[in-house]
A = this chain, B = another copy of it.
Amino acid sequence: MRLEGIFAALTTPFGTDGSVALEKFKDNVSRYNRTGLAGYVMIGSTGESVLLSREEVDRLWAAARESAAPGKTLIAGVGVESTAETIARACKAADLGYDAVLAKPPHYYKPLMTPHALELYYRSVADASPIPVILYSIPQYTGIPFTAEWVAQLARHPNIVGIKESSGNVSLAADIVSLCGATFRTLVGSAATLFPSLLLGAAGGVLALACCLPDITVEICDAVRSGDLTRASVLQQRILWPSRLIAGDLGPAGVKHAMDCVGYYGGPPRPPLLPLTSAQMTSIESAMAEVMAAQMANSRSAANWP
């Protein structure tokens, strides 16, 4: 399994009646297959995981497995409040042929979810999961901050292989990299900090923005690897505003509308997530238009090179 590069945190398409639109989903995946994305995260926060029934999750997982091109790494979002149900979902994902699972921490009973309780949770999941486990740090949604030391302790478990760090705290990501070593994979969850994180040792990113801008995010990663930091820096600047607007402020609804702008199927979010206002739609449309124009200018000038 290749756990580096850019992973798209895929959205879940809904039809006009609110049900899961499986065919639209498969069409999206077919297109993503032709990009340089390293793989897909199925049913994370961007995938509106908490708004789906277990049965819907299973159908989406199966559809992704079926549609994903060979070589694309498949990661299943399995973290729910119950330890047993998290394990059950990890086993299901393994059965379907997934490569790894991603588990956010249980967080409803915040004051009881001490570092010790969460360590036991992750150890139970990692012991029982037939496929490797990736930790998921997203304190803005869970209210549970991770420390680098706590992550490093869990990183010693042979079946815990990485972390998706979505707090946006670049220092934390750098600390995790330096305490956990290179075999433990730190993937950042925020496109706004992709370039600096890669520079400080992150292995890649799991990005909502990669749903609407897969090529440019992949290009940033490739530029860093090939040492072209100036190019990476220019591209990072280019996605700063879209990243903040689309994935940061507007959530799944924003990502979906940006996908609609560039030919993927986005569609509406599921309530209680609100549909975008027309002002929000317009902002996204101009942000996307600006990025696409800059990218095209680029490739034209590249094409002119002898």
If the complex has contacts A200-B236, A200-B237, are A124 and B175 also in contact, measured as CB distance less than 8 A? no
Q: List 18 A-B contacts (CB under 8 A).
A: A51-B85, A82-B272, A83-B270, A84-B270, A106-B272, A117-B274, A171-B190, A171-B244, A174-B240, A175-B244, A178-B240, A195-B196, A195-B200, A196-B196, A199-B236, A200-B236, A200-B240, A229-B229
Q: Binary interface profile of A, 225-238, with partner B (CB < 8 Å = 1, else 0)?
A: 00101100100110
Q: How many Å lie between the Cα of A111 and that of B252 in the bound state?
A: 12
User: CB within 8 A of A140: which of B18, B110, B244?
Assistant: B110
Q: How many Å lie between the Cα of A121 and that of B271 in the bound state?
A: 8
Majority secondary structure, A binding face: helix
Q: How many Å lie between the Cα of A113 and that of B240 in the bound state?
A: 24
Asked if A270 and B82 sit within 8 Å, CB to CB, the answer is yes
In the complex, whether A118 has a CB less than 8 A from a CB of chain B is: yes
Copies of this chain present: 4
| 8 smallest beta-carbon distances between A and B, as pairs | A196-B196, A83-B271, A121-B272, A50-B81, A229-B229, A171-B192, A51-B82, A170-B170
Q: How many Å lie between the Cα of A94 and that of B195 in the bound state?
A: 40
If the complex has contacts A169-B168, A170-B193, A244-B171, are A271 and B84 also in contact, measured as CB distance less than 8 A? yes
Chain B residues with CB below 8 A from A193, complex form:
170-171, 196
Least CB distance, A178 to chain B, in whole angstroms: 6
In the complex, whether A146 has a CB less than 8 A from a CB of chain B is: no
Chain B residues with CB below 8 A from A251, complex form:
109, 111-112
Asked if A241 and B50 sit within 8 Å, CB to CB, the answer is no
Chain B residues with CB below 8 A from A118, complex form:
272
In the complex, whether A96 has a CB less than 8 A from a CB of chain B is: no
